Structure 1
Amino acid sequence: MTDKNELQENDFRPSAARLVESLRDTGYSEKAAFADIVDNSIAANATKIAIELQYLMGEFRVVITDNGDGMTESELKNAMRYGSEKRPNPKSLGKFGMGLKTASTAFCRRLVVLSQKEGTAVGRIWDLDTISEKDRWELETPDENDYYDDFEVLEDFSGNSGTMIVWEKIDRLIKPGSDRQMRDQIRTLGKELVDELSAVFFKYLSSGNVEISLKIADEPEILLQGWDPLSTELVTSGGARPQLLKEKKIHVEFNGNSYSFTIRGSLIPSQNELTAEEQEAVRYGLDNQGFYIYREDRLIWNDGWPHRMYKKEGKITRLRVELVFSHELDDVFSIDFRKSRVIIPVEIRRKLQSLIAPWRQALLSVPSKNQSEQSGSTRAHGPADNAIDKQKNRTKNSDIKVDGETVTIRNQNQPKPAVINDIRVYEDKTVRVHEENSLLGDNLWEPSCDIDGNTCVTLGKSHPYFLKMYDVCKNNVEAMKALDMLLWSLANAEHGEYSEANKYTLKGFRQKVSESLRYLSLELPDPEEDSE
């Protein structure tokens, strides 16, 4: 009896119920989670990967199937272990032993893995509700009858060997709603995944060694095409090409050994040289300038300029830089298990700045007519800035907090603070109406905020309605102010109605309005050319 008590007193194993819930909050974004599962398929030598966003009879499932090596029962048990054994290949994209579990359970409460190797099928399940109820790491074996159809699909897709990942009890990927709302959310998620995965796995897709498809509910299957941020093969309808900047090798000393990585750059054609379709193809916009960092040919970071290097600027929107390194430099760049964080050491950052400075300066030194126009239009927005600020106490309908790079919002629909991703935050607290060369999806406007949490609106200058309507109003201060206040009110209303449940619906509304105005703008007069 004494020995048993002593064992219990010295048993410091964490509570399975509490730990498994905590591991759901490791910071995965939806797109990073999907990419992590695809990583595992590629690491298992898959040449075909199929992603399905299934929605049937009100049930939403995610199914990812590959024709990789597959797993035996013992290999599957190891793969389901949190902190599974290290892969023998250090280059492997799935190298930390955590991604399958944490990426999946970040968005679902039931992870099902079915696999076959040399014709023998096996399956295992992590069900978070079971773990929480029993407070024990209980790995379940699926009933073959329950997953008979899935095993059939796996065999048909992969032949003799392959693996299927199934997310069930999805509680975070989309929010409950009507049938139409659910389908709209799934459709929006699918479109975002097409853009993200085509960029993340660009080099694999372009090589022809890996094929990735995506099926969104009952829509036709989409075969992903790799997206090259440098646009190396682009030739515009007017004959313009990107200016490719010579590849440079940078040497690094680490742990007594010498390693190297490469960078190369591209100045994509200017906005005036691109048609609307070409702008969409190259994803022209302020947010897409800067670094694209690849580890073993997999894109792991593309969020502009690394910390303390440069800020995003309109004049260098055309500059994109590709950095490629191998697994030997994982510790140098502080790669985490989500493979979405990169920390560039100070000495390397300085080397990069010295190499990139001439490319950047070449753009900054070019006189820009658009820059002077933007300065003038910013002053033109001044009356609206003042009017909006004057009424801010009456129009405030949400509580926005900015903490470093994290922005949260609370309102009547969202009493608990929710993180808003990809929102622009401006340092100038006197401006409520901002302009950018282009917005995601070529929308006319999007909600933004300043560092104090005041709602702002950002206008996309590339939208034809902006070009024509503001040209019509340019000599009428009150008309300009009225238009600004209308668009700001749309942004403010979106912040007032925002919630985790309807964020995709609000985004879809904004896209639909912008699309309608794109066509309606054809009925407006063309902007007047400035006299030379």
Structure 2
Amino acid sequence: MTNSVGSHAISQGNEMDSRVWIEDVPITGQKVIEPDARVVDAFQNIGYSLEAALADLIDNSIDAAAKHVLVRFVRTDNELHSLDVVDDGRGMNDTEIDRAMKFGGQRTYQTGDLGMYGMGLKAASLSQADNLTVISRANRSKAVGRRWQAKEARRGWQCDVVSGQFASEALDAALSGFELSHGTIVRWDQVRDFRKASGRVDAYIQRIRSSLTVHLGLQLHRFLAGDRPRLQILVNTLNVDTGQASPNFRVTPLDPFSYAHPGSRGYPKDFRVTIPQVGDLTCHAHIWPARTKEAGYKLGGGSVARRQGFYFYRNDRLLQAGGWNNYREDGEPHLSLARVAIDLPQRFQSFFSVRFNKAAVDAPRSFVDALEHAKSPDNKLFPEFVERAQVVYRSKPERKLDPVFAPGRGIRAAVAESVRSTRSVIPRHSIDVVWANLPRKTFFEIDRESDQLLLNKRFRNVLLAGRPASSADLPVIKTLLYLLTEELFHGERQSGIERQRLDAYQAALVAAAREEE
């Protein structure tokens, strides 16, 4: 009974005072509420992988106009000690480094910058390491440094000031390879994942270097691509016990749309998605060829089915590498060939929600609904693209002839052109057909080392039957022998069955030549 009365009273109050839910909340004053220093603990579980955290640091390097970035693992014989990210960007002065190290520090981003929230340096670093040191020097400025220790931050936001002499010496050593005086070092100490490397440093570095180069090569592939890339990323190790640095390993671009030929005619195809009250967005739809083994399709290995779907970019930086954002189920094998590149214009960056670690994008329901009506210039609907990708996946592969060594000297040009127009040829290899002195019971020999098909000169005149000799004489016989033996030039040695076959050919051709005589 009491509960019934209480519910009735609340209902009455809602009806009488409903205006309070739409009126402005009255304010009587303001006060500053300092953040609890234990917020540092939250960064340790913020969702960064080691690879994603390093990518976030390199975003800052790109925003600082760096052309080169070095990721260095500092080790002893048995332990991993620390990790450095060195760049040759603009660097920072005393005021700028304080702003960079401030939690929630305000920074004005330019239109093309990769930074978003002003927290990437601290959040990414403290998600992996207990200590973060930043040392930097701007052009015509002194070297400066700051260090966050997680334990000191918890005690009351006490940030260490690094010795100017140490900062200067560290930068001089780190930037010597860049031949520049300005740049930045981000150093991680007490990296929690490095505990796994104890006693097995080589194996750990090999594994993490592999996953790191795949991640960076994919997320930043547009910056790394081309004959004159905007950015070069190197990875190496420094053994402080021996003083030796390993050779630099260069991160290469891993383009998820780098097929030589599309999997279906008419693709890639652009679809225009109209979002009410926001505008139009272009989706670049791609269909990979079926059963391809290219690196751009496999993207480092694992299930390629999880790589289907949307690839969102912001200022050329990849934010999401696959997934359908609730448009349809992720990971369906029959859609493994379907990928869609979407560059987010400035006006859409508040419509789509970019995850804090820049590893995924959340799309509103209105985007998913609009995809059903998205059209290409040839009036195809987006769902038709999805259906076509499934058809290509299920189709049987076309059987293709293997590439061949092209006909070379001794075979008529018209014959060689015919072969090239109907078969793909292996670059820098051709088979020359030449006359040579061979034993009487031999019609031809195969010389793999010089890529030559040798014909017995003693049968030449009888086969010519009075016609004049030339470098390309007897085109029918030479062409038939080229076609008969071409595949035998590919292997390093002949198999037993191949030798038996050649012996049978020799006997038959020698018998035929003697009949001509």
| Higher gyration radius (CA) | 2
1:363 aligns with 2:386: no
TM value normalised by structure 1: 0.60
Aligned partner letter, 2:271: K
Which one of 357, 364, 368 corresponds to residue 338 of structure 1?
357
Residues 301 and 275 from structure 1, CA distance in 2 versus in 1: closer, same or farther, beyond 3 angstroms?
closer
Q: Which residue of 2 aligns with 1:248?
A: 271
Residues 278 and 296 from structure 1, CA distance in 2 versus in 1: closer, same or farther, beyond 3 angstroms?
closer
Shift of 1:24: 2.2
RMSD over aligned Cα, in angstroms? 2.9
Q: Which runs of 5 or more structure 2 residues have no equivalent in the other structure?
A: 1-30, 239-244, 375-381, 397-517
1:126 aligns with 2:148: yes
Whole-Å Cα distance in 1 between the matches of residues 233 and 247 of structure 2? 14
Which one of 51, 66, 69 corresponds to residue 49 of structure 1?
69
Q: Which deviations, in whole Å up to 9, do the C-alpha atoms of 1:415-459 show, x marking residues without a partner? A: xxxxxxxxxxxxxxxxxxxxxxxxxxxxxxxxxxxxxxxxxxxxx
Which one of 92, 99, 115 corresponds to residue 113 of structure 2?
92
8 A Cα contact 2:312 2:343, kept in partner? yes
1:315 aligns with 2:334: yes
Whole-Å Cα distance in 1 between the matches of residues 45 and 295 of structure 2? 38
2:386 alignment partner, SS class: helix
Shift of 1:214: 1.9
2:225 alignment partner, SS class: helix
Whole-Å Cα distance in 1 between the matches of residues 272 and 312 of structure 2? 14
Whole-Å Cα distance in 1 between the matches of residues 250 and 66 of structure 2? 16
8 A Cα contact 1:248 1:264, kept in partner? yes
Q: Which residue of 1 aligns with 2:35?
A: 14
Whole-Å Cα distance in 2 between the matches of residues 79 and 53 of structure 1? 23
Q: Which residue of 1 aligns with 2:103?
A: 82
Aligned partner letter, 1:363: A
Whole-Å Cα distance in 1 between the matches of residues 164 and 212 of structure 2? 31
8 A Cα contact 1:108 1:170, kept in partner? yes
Which one of 293, 298, 320 corresponds to residue 301 of structure 1?
320
8 A Cα contact 1:190 1:216, kept in partner? no
1:230 aligns with 2:251: no
Whole-Å Cα distance in 1 between the matches of residues 68 and 318 of structure 2? 19
2:189 alignment partner, SS class: strand
Whole-Å Cα distance in 2 between the matches of residues 317 and 82 of structure 1? 41
Q: Which moved more, 1:147-156 or 1:42-51?
A: 147-156
| Map 1:198-217 → 2, pairs under 5 A | 198-206=217-225, 208-216=229-237
Q: Which residue of 2 aligns with 1:352?
A: 371
Which one of 130, 139, 143 corresponds to residue 109 of structure 1?
130
8 A Cα contact 2:355 2:362, kept in partner? no
Q: Which runs of 5 or more structure 1 residues have no equivalent in the other structure?
A: 1-9, 371-532
8 A Cα contact 1:263 1:322, kept in partner? yes
1:326 aligns with 2:349: no
Residues 367 and 199 from structure 1, CA distance in 2 versus in 1: closer, same or farther, beyond 3 angstroms?
closer
8 A Cα contact 1:243 1:268, kept in partner? no
8 A Cα contact 2:89 2:184, kept in partner? yes
1:150 alignment partner, SS class: helix
Residues 220 and 307 from structure 1, CA distance in 2 versus in 1: closer, same or farther, beyond 3 angstroms?
farther
1:321 alignment partner, SS class: strand
Whole-Å Cα distance in 2 between the matches of residues 320 and 34 of structure 1? 26
Shift of 1:244: 3.1
Q: Which deviations, in whole Å up to 9, do the C-alpha atoms of 1:128-151 show, x marking residues without a partner? A: 12334xx11111112356556522
Whole-Å Cα distance in 2 between the matches of residues 144 and 122 of structure 1? 6
8 A Cα contact 1:53 1:216, kept in partner? yes
8 A Cα contact 1:65 1:162, kept in partner? yes
8 A Cα contact 1:154 1:162, kept in partner? no
Q: Which residue of 2 aligns with 1:167?
A: 188
Aligned partner letter, 2:45: D
Shift of 1:154: 3.6
Whole-Å Cα distance in 1 between the matches of residues 349 and 53 of structure 2? 20
| Amino-acid identity (%) | 24
1:84 alignment partner, SS class: coil
Whole-Å Cα distance in 1 between the matches of residues 188 and 370 of structure 2? 44
2:354 alignment partner, SS class: coil
Q: Which moved more, 1:361-370 or 1:207-216?
A: 361-370
Residues 118 and 148 from structure 1, CA distance in 2 versus in 1: closer, same or farther, beyond 3 angstroms?
closer
Q: Which residue of 2 aligns with 1:262?
A: 282
Whole-Å Cα distance in 2 between the matches of residues 367 and 19 of structure 1? 48
| Map 1:465-476 → 2, pairs under 5 A | none
Whole-Å Cα distance in 1 between the matches of residues 184 and 264 of structure 2? 42
TM value normalised by structure 2: 0.61
Aligned partner letter, 2:66: A
